[in-house]
């Protein structure tokens, strides 16, 4: 399952950046491929079990893929099946997936607990 591999990669990136500190929150932006937030949360929790990221809250920001019309140049979200075939701007039938936005996941931020003895 694609999402489980994605979650494993996210946890690895989180742990690398946390440098041993306890992680309480993670914000991830996923573009292109629609995902179920519940599946991502469950996969993250499974991958993070037994690590400093165990139990961290996952905030997921999703950006849908987009399509570009070769006739008029309009870029529209691929959030409905007709948009994958017909340009909603001009009605043209020559549309392509717009790669400019990219597809994948970006770890935007992590929230870590202060190390013991810090503060003040």
Q: Provide the annotated binding site for Ni(2+).
A: 2
The residue behind tokens 């931020």 is 109
Helix (H) or strand (E) holding 28: strand 23-32
Name the nearest CA neighbour of 43 among 33, 52, 53: 53
Query: How many CB atoms within 10 Å of residue 76?
Result: 19
Could you tell me which residues are annotated as the binding site for Zn(2+)?
69, 72, 87, 90
Could you tell me which residues are annotated as the binding site?
2, 69, 72, 87, 90
């Amino acid at each position: 399952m694609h999402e489980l591999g994605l979650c494993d990669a996210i946890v690895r990136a989180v742990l690398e950046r946390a440098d041993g500190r306890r992680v309480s929150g993670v914000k991830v932006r996923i573009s292109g491929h629609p995902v179920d937030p519940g599946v991502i949360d469950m996969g993250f929790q499974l991958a993070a079990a037994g690590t400093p990221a165990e139990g961290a809250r996952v905030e997921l920001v999703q950006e849908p893929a987009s399509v570009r019309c070769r006739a008029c140049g309009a870029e529209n979200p691929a959030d409905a099946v007709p948009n994958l075939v017909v340009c909603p701007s001009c009605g043209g039938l020559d549309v392509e997936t717009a790669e400019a936005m990219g597809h994948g996941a970006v770890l935007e931020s992590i929230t870590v607990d202060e190390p013991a003895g810090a503060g003040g």
